[in-house]
Amino acid sequence: MISIEPNIASIIGLPPRVALLLTLGLIVFLFRRDIREKPEVSGALWLPVLWLVLCCSKPVSEWFTIFGLPFGSPVAGEGQESPVGQGSSVNAYSYLVVAAAGFFVLIKRQVDLSKVVRNNRWLIAFFLYCFISIAWSDFPFIAFKRWIKILGHPIMALIVLTEPDPEEALIRLMKRCAYVVVPVSILFIKYYVQLGVAYDPWSGLPKNIGIAAGKNLLGEDLLILGFFFFWHLLQTWQTERNTRRRNELLLIAGFLIGIGWLFSRTHSATAIVALFVAALLVVLVGMRSINKNFIGTYMLAGLVLIAAAELAFGISGQMSEALGRGSGLSGRTKLWTRLLELDTNPIVGTGFESFWLVTKPELLEGIFFFVPDEAHNGYLEIYLDLGLIGVFFLVGLLVATFWKIRLTLFRNFEWGRCQLGFLGAVILYNWTEAAFKSHSSIWFVFYIIGMKYPRTHLASAQPSLGVARPEESREFAYAEAEP
């Protein structure tokens, strides 16, 4: 059992145990407030909430270890299975149980699989290719387990999209996740350094990780939640002045301050830059001088300008220096060069999420002062695993997602610009981090903005998991999708 006795005292003088009780009290208060608002969402939304919290936090096996339970000692760390597949069964079963419960909800809602396929062709093609690529993986069983795990993302995304009001469902999903991630991360970093701070095995320097499994993973969480609360602030600001608006603005302000404090402790430059760009996109798209009919042209022109500036002036290196990371992006450019020199199949890659399974990292040993376990570039990671064919499907998926968002801007502008901002963050974030992988919280939220499930009317069906209030104790079946 990991001791949770604090190593540091609070700056404001609170005993750590008091801080723990206050944090738990705050979380209970926030969830009670959420339920009392009687949101127009079903009880099944708790499954995506649980899924997102799992993606945002430490592995389940580690939580068992923290609380002294006997199930929490994995043979290998999360995402680091041994060659014979001896990973933590607790982590695998946790994701499997939640995903299976989500699949049961979709069956109860009578979600039409043909409509999912018809409206998400690029996503389905990407998934099928990932499945096919398991055939040439050196570790097909591990690759298959990881492919099964990633199926949970579209399942949970469909639960959100098939709620009576998907936009309200997304708001509740993000807020409920934030109720756990932000307060607990602050508590761990300030009061329980054993849980909230990790130490680099090579340099020995401390890294604030909060509730997450790593510094960069906490940066992912803050990027998602920070962008959401920024967008939610814009929506709330436009509502009628009343007590509820004031309370909501106070809630948003509190979380933005907490997220800002955590950003100051994690120093996750990529997440900060991606958040800034996403917020800037939301603001620019909302300007009256911007013609929404030419959003595609603006985006293409922006990408061309960025590419030209990178080739001519190396702006990524200059920005990295300005952020204190050095012109080599903290060693990333050297890593990318070496990875591209390795003898991998450029057409089909090594198989779904298989490149880093033991053998390839050994080829990098002695080149760096550490043995890397990711490419720190989502596109390069896809290339190593799935080859140029995989990169083609990924780019096609991103472009198809953009065109769906473009249409949404004309039907539901506020929801559309939220999707656009987050898509911009995903594209940029994956330039120096690898988030196109099974356990990534960013990858999960991408499915919510990237998938489409058209509906025309709701029909009551059998209740599944219960809901927040009795008069809404039913699930929803969808039929006759809009053209």
* Structure-token pair, residue 113: 């699989």
What is the torsional sign of CA 124, 130, 135, 136? positive
Q: What is the pLDDT of residue 476?
A: 41
Angstrom distance (rounded) from CA 121 to CA 448? 15
**Dihedral (C-alpha) 266, 445, 237, 24: value to the nearest 10 degrees?**
-60
Please provide the distance, in angstroms rounded to a whole number, between the alpha carbons at the two ends of the chain: 56
Give how far the C-alpha of residue 460 lies from the chain's centroid of Cα atoms, to the nearest Å: 32
Question: Residue 127, SS3?
Answer: helix
Within 8 A by CB and 6+ apart from 342, the residues are 360, 363
| pLDDT for residue 482 | 43
pLDDT of residue 370: 61
**Angle, vertex CA 255, rays to CA 251 and CA 259, nearest 5:** 170
DSSP bridge pairs for 476:
460
**Contact 406/296 with Cβ under 8 angstroms?**
yes
DSSP codes of every residue in 434-473: ---STT-HHHHHHHHHH-----SEEEE----S--SSGGG-
Tell me the one-letter amino acid at 346: P
The string over 2-38, giving b where at least 16 C-beta atoms fall within 10 Å of a residue's C-beta and e elsewhere, is eebebeeeeeeeeebeebbeebeeebeebeeebeeee
| CB of 169 closer than 8 Å to CB of 41 | yes
pLDDT given for residue 105 in this prediction: 95
Task: State the Cα–Cα distance between residues 440 and 473, nearest whole angstrom.
Answer: 32
pTM: 0.83
Ranges of residues in the chain with a pLDDT under 70 are 1-13, 70-88, 201-204, 291-294, 296-304, 306-331, 358-371, 455-483
Residue 35 lies in a domain: yes
- What is residue 215's predicted lDDT score, i.e. its pLDDT? 87
**Is residue 7 one of the residues assigned to a domain?**
no
| Cβ-contact 106, 162 below 8 angstroms | yes
The first and second tokens of residue 315, run together, are: 């702006």
Read off the pLDDT of residues 333-385 as tens digits, 9 standing for 90 and up. Answer: 788 888 888 888 899 999 999 888 865 666 666 656 566 778 888 999 999 99
Predicted pLDDT of residue 75: 37
10, part of any domain: no
Distance CA 378, CA 398 (A): 13
240, with CB counted inside 10 A (0-12, 13-18, 19+), is: exposed
By DSSP bridging, strand 206-208 and strand 197-199 are antiparallel
d(C-alpha 76, C-alpha 56), whole Å: 19
Q: What is the pLDDT of residue 364?
A: 67
Is 5 inside any structural domain? Answer: no
- Domain for residue 2, yes or no? no
Task: Return the DSSP state at 151.
Answer: T
User: Is residue 122 included in any domain, yes or no?
Assistant: yes
C-alpha angle 187-191-192 in degrees, rounded to nearest 5: 90
Is residue 3 assigned to a domain? no
User: Which DSSP symbol is given to 241?
Assistant: P
**Helix/strand/coil (H, E, C) string of 277-299?**
HHHHHHHHHCCCCCCHHHHHHHH
Domain count for the chain, please give it. Answer: 1
DSSP string, 318-383: HHHHHTTSTTTTTTHHHHHHHHHHS---TTT-SSTT-TTTTHHHHHTBTTBSS--SS-S-HHHHHH
Range of the domain at 41: 16-81+88-479
